[in-house]
């Protein structure tokens, strides 16, 4: 059976389904008896989505306008 550290170290292959069946069994056994690690897995899994929400930013209209003007000037002279 894994301890907390081994469990957390193996989260990436675990969540991607790339763990060996034996290791996955070790991890599952640990998670069954360790609520803090279950919370850790849940919050680890939620982290990417929260970051995506925080980091998405749209293009300001003036930037879009400049891009269009730039491309036009570059492409039409070819």
Partner 1 sequence: MTQTSVEDDRELLARAQAGDMSAFEALVDRHEEKVYGLALRMTRSEADAAEIAQDTFLSAYQHLSEFRGEAAFGSWVHRIAANNALMRLRRQKVLDIVSDDLAGPEFTDRGSLAEVPESDWSKRADDKILDEELGRAIREATDALPEGYREVFLLKDLEGLSYEEISEMVGISIPAVKSRLHRARLALREAIDAFYKEV
State the CB neighbour count (10 A cutoff) for residue 8. 17
In angstroms, the CA 38 to CA 59 distance is: 38
Interaction of residue 31 with partner 1, rule CB under 8 A: no
CB of 65 to partner 1, least distance (A): 11
CA distance 66 to 38: 49
Strand, coil or helix: 50:
helix
Comparison of 21 and 74: residue with beta carbon closer to partner 1: 74
Interface with partner 1 (CB under 8 A), residue from 17, 21, 60, 61 = 60
Task: Give the binding site for partner 1 (CB under 8 A).
Answer: 3-6, 8-9, 11-12, 34, 36-37, 39-40, 42-60, 63-64, 66-68, 70-71, 74-76
């Amino acid at each position: 059976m894994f301890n907390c550290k081994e469990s957390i170290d193996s989260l990436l292959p675990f969540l991607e389904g790339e763990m060996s069946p034996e290791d996955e069994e070790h991890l599952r056994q640990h998670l069954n008896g360790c609520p803090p690690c279950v919370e850790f897995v849940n919050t680890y899994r939620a982290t990417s989505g929260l970051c995506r929400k925080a980091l998405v930013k749209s293009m300001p209209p003036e930037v879009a306008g400049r891009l269009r003007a730039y491309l036009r000037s570059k492409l039409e002279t070819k």
